[in-house]
Amino acid sequence: MTDTKNLTQLGTNVEAPQSPEAAVLETVPFARGDGPPAIVRFTCPEFTSLCPVTGQPDFAHIVIDYAPDTLLVESKSLKLFMTSFRNHGAFHEECTVMIGRRIIAATKPLWLRIGGYWYPRGGIPIDVYWQTGAPPEGAWLPDTGVAPYRGRG
């Protein structure tokens, strides 16, 4: 059974953090086992942050794939972390890469990639991709499943 005694957010009523810096990403142990590494995917289709210039909301579909080594990110803490961006003013590129770097700092995975598919601002959608290096050998990496933005057709 997975050791969860150090988790402070799962199973409790926790207020959303006021900023990504204040958010705590918690982890649980993971036994990788033999064979190719597992790929874990988190999809956040309703991600929001704020434009750092206008303060207007920006919206994105975020897809995170990572190959855990000895730690998994606990999903409730990830949800709270992602929610904390609703009060955070930053450009799309900064938000996307910041999410990836925070997960790496917390879990020290074998590999991570993140795709930020941002909805149009000023008529231009922005897609941001970032990864830590080559994917692990033998790992199955499905397509992110997010089609390029086409508007109404």
137 assigned ligand-binding residue? no
CA–CA dist 152, 133 (Å, integer): 35
Residues 104 and 114 sit within 8 Å (Cβ to Cβ): no
Catalytic residues: 51, 58
**Termini Cα distance of the chain:** 49
92 annotated to bind ligand: yes
Q: Is 88 annotated as a binding residue?
A: no
Annotated binding-site ranges for substrate: 73-75, 92-93
Annotated binding-site ranges: 73-75, 92-93
